[in-house]
Amino acid sequence: MTQNLQQQWNKCLAILADNLTSSAYQTWFAPIVPLQYEDCTLVLQVKSSFVAEYIEENYIDLLSATILRVFGQNTRLEYRVLIDATSGMGTSVPSNAQQTTAAAYPVQPMPQKNIANSFDPQLNPQYTFDTFIAGEPNKLARTAGIAVSKQPGFTAFNPLFIYGGSGVGKTHLANAIGNYVRATLPHARVLFVSANTFKLQYQDACRANKIPDFLNFYQSVDVLIVDDIQYFAGMKGTQDAFFHIFNYLQQSRKQLVLTSDRPPIELKDIEDRILTRFKWGLSAEITRPDYQLRHDILRSKMRRDGIQLKDEVVDFIAQNVHDSVRDLEGILASLLAHSTLTEKEIDLQLAEQVVSRLVVIQPRRTTVHDVMVAVAAHYNIQEKALTAPNRSRDVTQARHVAAYLSKELTECSLSEIGFQMGRRTHATMLHSITHVKEQLEYDPVMRQHIAQLQAAIRG
């Protein structure tokens, strides 16, 4: 046995040890002795024919993929069963693993050419960071996604595990990561795949006896993005294949991005060894969009699609459609279709009709917009002055009153009120409200104005 052969076999052992439990590795692979490598045939000495049969039955896919990776694509595997330890006599047992020639290897789950630009990443080109609207509900996930995109495989966020309910933007963000890597690292092999597609490809590989090819294909990827990982639940074979792929990519400083509808701790029927690896990197949640994010998303999509909507319509949609980004997109598409087909302007009445078909509309509540309309009319100023940077005394006083009444008559937080009143801060709104409260204690005129406005707003 040459020193080079032992070194090559040690590389195989390192891969096997990392992909197996300690007991399985020590029982079946640690005792193996590499005898020779000639004419593209690797001969491994095992203690008994039972050992060879057990490895063939339970671990041949992993062993074959490992040997092909370390020794080369044309390598055949043969066992030498030790009969006499003193003389070293043994009998040869060929492996059932099919020889893989350079011409046929690998038979991949999807078409591929040699250069990364010809490799189909299965990404949606419309899902980018530019079209992913940032907000508090997605701040952590988006920040981590940008960091991963700039240095895939070389951050502490590997894997990056993004989770959240349906329609909050997980798939969009995952695609954005892939598209950024493709744009900045054109030679990188990036692949986006749904968990269901991965599962079907694995099943096809099993039927065709092409598991080594399947593993080799996925282990050749630089950035692997798996969407809806929760669908691996209960699929033992699929999980086992993914486990090997995950280990190889993670050790090779390749990037993994995973999405799920729940955090790792809540995933059911997923092996503990896989769940443990999900926790190695960063788990980042995307929650349901808050009012400010919904408002920003609507404005962004209106600019993109060339739609003009009144402020009261935008406010109404943002207040009533709050479960997901997809719902917001659906509402805008429906409004545009109704307006085009009926040749009617998109007003509040039409918005109420369309929204009521998709979500349960809460009873009509006073909005910040209602308050600003009433306050502007009462003080005889333009409504837009309340949201502008104007600091004249009259406008400032009206703005203070609008902030106070918005807090009293609506269910909006100070942040939401400030956002609608010209993107002002929580602290600014608190100052305005405090100012009015203090004035009410000694100023009967202010008390009269507030009473009149409350009556007008409540109708």
Q: What CATH number is attached to the domain comprising 140? A: 3.40.50.300
8-state DSSP, 363: P
Give just the sign of the alpha carbon dihedral 167, 169, 170, 172: positive
Alpha-carbon distance 376 to 387, whole Å? 11
The verdict on 272 and 338 lying in the same domain is no
Q: Tokens for 416?
A: 């939401």
Q: Which residue has the higher pLDDT, 261 or 115?
A: 261
Last residue of one domain, picked from the residues 269, 285, 301: 285
Q: Do 151 and 204 sit in the same domain of this protein? A: yes
**Quick one: 266 and 305 in the same domain?**
no
The domain tally of the chain equals: 4
| 106 occurs within a structural domain | no
Q: In this structure, is residue 414 part of a structural domain?
A: yes
pLDDT for 439-451, tens place per residue? 999 999 999 999 8
Q: Which domain holds residue 90?
A: 3-94
Domain assignment present for 130: yes
Residue 395 sits in a domain of what CATH number? 1.10.1750.10
195 occurs within a structural domain? yes
Residues in the chain, total: 459
Q: Given this model, what pLDDT does residue 141 score?
A: 94
195-219 residue pLDDT tens: 999 999 999 888 888 888 898 899 8
What mean pLDDT do residues 7-24 have?
85
- Do 162 and 274 belong together in one domain? yes
| Structure confidence by residue, pLDDT tens digits, 275-303 | 999 988 899 999 888 878 888 888 888 77
At which of 285, 307, 325 does a domain end?
A: 285
The Cα 387–Cα 368 span in angstroms is 12
Both 310 and 253 in one domain: the answer is: no
Strand locations in 67-120 (E)? 76-84, 89-94
**Segment holding 315, helix H or strand E:** helix 311-320
What does the pLDDT read at residue 319?
A: 76
Task: Note whether 331 and 416 are same-domain residues.
Answer: no
pTM value?
A: 0.56
* 178 and 135 in a common domain: yes
The answer to whether residue 100 sits within a structural domain is no
Q: What's the Rg (C-alpha) of the chain?
A: 32
Shared domain check, 296 and 269: no
Considering the domain architecture, whether residues 68 and 54 belong to the same structural domain is answered as yes
- Using the structure block, give the residue that is written with the tokens 């065709």: 208
Both 257 and 390 in one domain: the answer is no
For residue 107, tell me if it sits in a domain.
Answer: no
161 burial via Cβ count (<10 Å: 0-12, 13-18, 19+): buried
Does 349 lie in the same domain as 258?
no
Q: Are 30 and 53 found together in one domain?
A: yes
